[in-house]
Structure 1
């Protein structure tokens, strides 16, 4: 588990195949859920963060290790 923690509303950045994207944390996910038919295996021990892209408004789940404060 990583020590990276984020709060709802914080601006974060992450890398992907087209470069870097920024967005805001919507909430911390601590239980399995589905986002646009994609299964997110979040748990208390392995949380993920639901983030919303600033550019597109799309929402996706990311592991804390993939995010950094922007």
Structure 2
């Protein structure tokens, strides 16, 4: 199963220990990096996404397969 592709600015949701979380993609990662003490094994074929939570300042990193795209939010 091929994961969905997302872009910076997309509004997405994902499961966490606290339940479903919503946020905005702030960076698309396409090469291995260190994130919060872990190696993120991203590549152009399998990017990972850095996401900022809508409700907190929490930043998370997820594979596309863990994310669900939400309807676009319009900024005023």
TM-score (norm 1): 0.87
Q: 1:3: Cα distance to partner?
A: 4.3
Q: 1:63: Cα distance to partner?
A: 0.5
Alignment of structure 1 residues 55-70 onto 2, 5 Å: 55-70=55-70
Matched, 1:42 2:42: yes
* Count of residue correspondences: 70
CA distance in 1, matches of 2:33, 2:17: 25
Q: 1:38: Cα distance to partner?
A: 2.0
Unpaired segments ≥5 residues, structure 1: none
Q: 1:29: Cα distance to partner?
A: 0.7
Q: 4+ runs of 1 displaced by more than 6 Å? A: none
Unpaired segments ≥5 residues, structure 2: 71-76
Matched, 1:15 2:15: yes
TM-score (norm 2): 0.81
> Quick check: which has more Rg, 1 or 2?
2
Give the aligned CA root-mean-square deviation in angstroms. Answer: 1.4
